Structure 1
């Protein structure tokens, strides 16, 4: 009898414990499910991603950065340290805060490891590199930029999930014109109220079904002068000034083409195409022996790939070192210069729409090409002795990109997809021929496109095409409408990098400070859309502009 009583008393206790266990399991499952949920989901690891995330947190929103990259900052931390800024007075808000923090770093003794601060020449673009008056610094080493970005992430306690790649086949769930969630190749699903695509490629935008364009529009599409094929337009020093044969045996077409020359017709002048401006790596070099790593000879090196450059040297051309732009500690941000240089012309056309596998192949080919180019100039007897001997004093910087054999972890994606959104920025807005509605930031850099193709002229000699440099004649406004898709396509996505613009307009907008500016403005707009429960296209501009001005953004 006593035993039965004990069992009857124990039964409710067991049931309570079982229910409590099940409840805890349910709660844990819900917490686990909610752990990948935030007000704002940012896809990408660029400078725009970090700045947008900081703005979201400062505005009181939860945010997760879903980054395919392991290193944050994109090109800003990937070698582009000689910043393309234009008029620095229109760089405000958190973008200016980034350059202020760089300035703070270089005002410490520990920053100057390889040279005294007073020895640094302080050369910048338009202003001194270290601008004491404005407490900003525009020229910096890659690892310093990355540290500033990482400090911002840590300071604002921002969650970053790295090495997470969007499933581009079916990784975007849509409902009622909104993105509900995104899923990565690892199987993680992220749910949010608002989404930002801050990648250079525009993968989230494209997978969500938003309209976009790849390549150059014909001149007539938007009534522009500088769009489309530009044969015969030679704006910079990146063209063949001398008559150089593209054939293996000079002037003998039957001998075959040299590598990296196209035998296709370049297209009718001003016509559109699906070709994009050349990519390269912005290499960080040094001639300071204690920190120098000799240029590696890449596996499969083929000197014939650089025969065209040898023929350029034969003409007496001596501009090889003209874009070894000096950054602190005896280092460079080395960019393309001349008719045959680090720009791997014509080898990136498949990149914007390519699979991850295909993109990796293209990136590897660019790395092989550029490493071979450096080895060729430093070692090959085909190169004039004075240039070869000087180049052999240079190498990669031992203390940069240390987990990638001192090679930049980010290729320079100068252009990929460009959204076709609520408003399309064109050269007409940049040149102030037409007013720009609803400014959310400003640009000012030259409309700049690198070469797009290397072809054979009618006279049988080789030439480059696509290199354009046209002044905007002062700063210009960038429209909020260029950050948002058409309303009937998606109502909770903002795109501050692959902005809605023509090819030639993007040639100016595509600068890293501008991406940071637009990243902040996009996050501020996303915050307002959440608070008001409205589509991003319905954000009241009067309220947005007031908020942006309070945050230090410069709109006009």
Structure 2
């Protein structure tokens, strides 16, 4: 069975929704293919409290979404940093209710047909073939891009690759996301003096030299929506819960107890009503969190569908078990357990996925090698770009990459300590994002646009990866796709001044 549209968008992330809507509003017929059952990606999948940066850069469909959120709740724009997850999905469904848009769910990518440097069609797992003139890969993983033969990278590059100060493996430094000293990694030696089997949740692999590329990606996790409502779903013990898996947490709490530094439950997971109706967006805060830091995320970008599902299940189990551990384990301070007991999963969110989010937070996966590769120099120096299609402003925000261990010189003998590595936060000015970063190299594919896994270094991507920027870049990709169709030209040859004019008319902020 075959179908066709002028524009085919793969993945109904917020970027994919915006690309589909922008293309349809510009006059094209659009097929939006979503491998799962939901639309909105992380915007509707748990990331309710949306990081923005400088609000003055928000325009186009990102600004339209903020207006829609405010309108839904009857509050001024910006009163909430984001909506409840189900409200985000409702808004996106309303946008997609357009006569020129066909949404197909359960459309996992099976095969891509490429002819003469152009994508002709994609086949999905249900046996259907979807043909189009221009394709947009809006997935977090970059699967369409990869299947089309476009060159890409995964993970951290070496500092020498682009001459970036912040590239490569980082030196673990004191801070909220690092482990405190003197937490032993060894199962049978809490003192860390005699090497043996390593605790669960600790990666037993030597770290690469500082500054070198090791292919590591930022940790993944689930951003949970929590509530104190009377009908909340309590944190219960899962079948398969493993007491030994949480020994690292017990040692950490014991260290905090002895040193007088135990954080509150709110500080551990962000328990504050930062969403409408008293809900909260639980985040990965501190050295022991919702993030899975044993290197599992490193395998995800190139894993096959079955492998990815195993990794998603592993992250879901970690999430459920972490919440239960904080709420019930006797090693957790009583005041933390009491506070966790006030919260639970909301009964009116994620009903078809056990009230946990449907979307794994894939902070980064593949990154395209496009016509222009953005690096930290472009962001920190706010380099001018003649083909700017959106602005970025969020700081370089590399979340933890791994939790491992190392020997530390101590008197009277070296001591093994758990370390968390990779976290980095560096402010940037407002910077332009060029259209060329959304396009593959002309020789590789002439009718594909990539607004999520765009062309950037690991460091630069850490700032661009915010949902509001994905929305603006998806908007740009949708308009550019229509211009390429109208002019019967490669996406690399779109009239950028025309594209910029249309984006400005739609409220996009380009300067």
Specify the alignment match of 1:335 in structure 2.
283
Specify the alignment match of 1:284 in structure 2.
225
**Correspondence 1:266-277 to 2 at 5 A:** 266-277=207-218
1:260 positional shift: 1.3
1:76–1:512 CA contact under 8 A, matched in 2: yes
1:241 positional shift: 2.6
* Equivalent-residue separation in structure 1 for 2:121 and 2:56 (angstroms): 39
* Equivalent-residue separation in structure 1 for 2:98 and 2:385 (angstroms): 36
Specify the alignment match of 1:177 in structure 2.
117
Match for residue 126 of structure 2 among 158, 176, 186: 186
Specify the alignment match of 1:377 in structure 2.
326
* Equivalent-residue separation in structure 2 for 1:437 and 1:241 (angstroms): 46
> Which digits, 9 at most, give the CA deviation of each residue in 1:103-126, with x for residues without a partner?
10001xxxxxxxxxxxxxxxxxxx
Specify the alignment match of 1:208 in structure 2.
148
Q: Does 1:95 align with 2:70?
A: no
1:552 positional shift: 1.0
* Equivalent-residue separation in structure 1 for 2:386 and 2:301 (angstroms): 29
Q: Does 1:144 align with 2:100?
A: no
* Equivalent-residue separation in structure 1 for 2:282 and 2:185 (angstroms): 26
Q: Does 1:243 align with 2:190?
A: no
Specify the alignment match of 1:405 in structure 2.
354
For structure 1, the residue ranges without an aligned partner over 5 or more in a row are 1-31, 108-129
1:303 positional shift: 2.1
1:266–1:453 CA contact under 8 A, matched in 2: no
2:438–2:477 CA contact under 8 A, matched in 1: yes
> Relative to 1, partners in 2 of residues 1:252 and 1:303: Cα closer, same or farther, differing over 3 Å?
farther
Q: Does 1:449 align with 2:398?
A: yes
1:433 positional shift: 5.9
1:363 positional shift: 0.4
How many residues align? The count is: 493
Specify the alignment match of 1:59 in structure 2.
26
> Which digits, 9 at most, give the CA deviation of each residue in 1:239-287, with x for residues without a partner?
1133211112212434421111122211100000111110010101112
Specify the alignment match of 1:259 in structure 2.
200
1:151 positional shift: 0.7
Q: Does 1:354 align with 2:303?
A: yes
For structure 2, the residue ranges without an aligned partner over 5 or more in a row are 409-415
Q: Does 1:536 align with 2:484?
A: no
Specify the alignment match of 1:470 in structure 2.
426
1:328 positional shift: 1.3
**Correspondence 1:305-316 to 2 at 5 A:** 305-314=245-254, 315-316=256-257
Larger radius of gyration: 1
Specify the alignment match of 2:101 in structure 1.
158
* Equivalent-residue separation in structure 1 for 2:207 and 2:467 (angstroms): 30
1:232 positional shift: 2.9
Question: What TM-score results when the alignment is normalised by the length of structure 1?
Answer: 0.86
1:157 positional shift: 5.3
Specify the alignment match of 2:502 in structure 1.
547
1:135 positional shift: 6.8
* Equivalent-residue separation in structure 2 for 1:271 and 1:491 (angstroms): 33
> Relative to 1, partners in 2 of residues 1:437 and 1:245: Cα closer, same or farther, differing over 3 Å?
farther
2:450–2:477 CA contact under 8 A, matched in 1: yes
> Relative to 1, partners in 2 of residues 1:295 and 1:157: Cα closer, same or farther, differing over 3 Å?
farther
Q: Does 1:76 align with 2:46?
A: no
**Correspondence 1:44-55 to 2 at 5 A:** 44-55=11-22
* Equivalent-residue separation in structure 2 for 1:419 and 1:85 (angstroms): 24
Q: Does 1:458 align with 2:407?
A: yes
> Which digits, 9 at most, give the CA deviation of each residue in 1:84-110, with x for residues without a partner?
111111110112111111110001xxx
Q: Does 1:318 align with 2:267?
A: no
Q: Does 1:428 align with 2:373?
A: no
2:80–2:275 CA contact under 8 A, matched in 1: no
Secondary structure at 2:360's aligned position in 1? Answer: coil
> Relative to 1, partners in 2 of residues 1:136 and 1:189: Cα closer, same or farther, differing over 3 Å?
farther
* Equivalent-residue separation in structure 2 for 1:424 and 1:272 (angstroms): 17
1:437 positional shift: 3.8
> Relative to 1, partners in 2 of residues 1:173 and 1:155: Cα closer, same or farther, differing over 3 Å?
closer
* Equivalent-residue separation in structure 1 for 2:253 and 2:321 (angstroms): 17
* Equivalent-residue separation in structure 1 for 2:98 and 2:121 (angstroms): 27
* Equivalent-residue separation in structure 1 for 2:79 and 2:101 (angstroms): 24
> Relative to 1, partners in 2 of residues 1:433 and 1:101: Cα closer, same or farther, differing over 3 Å?
closer
Specify the alignment match of 2:412 in structure 1.
none
* Equivalent-residue separation in structure 2 for 1:105 and 1:218 (angstroms): 46
1:156 positional shift: 5.3
* Equivalent-residue separation in structure 2 for 1:209 and 1:39 (angstroms): 21
Secondary structure at 1:253's aligned position in 2? Answer: coil
Cα-Cα RMSD? 1.5
Secondary structure at 1:514's aligned position in 2? Answer: helix
Q: Does 1:514 align with 2:469?
A: yes
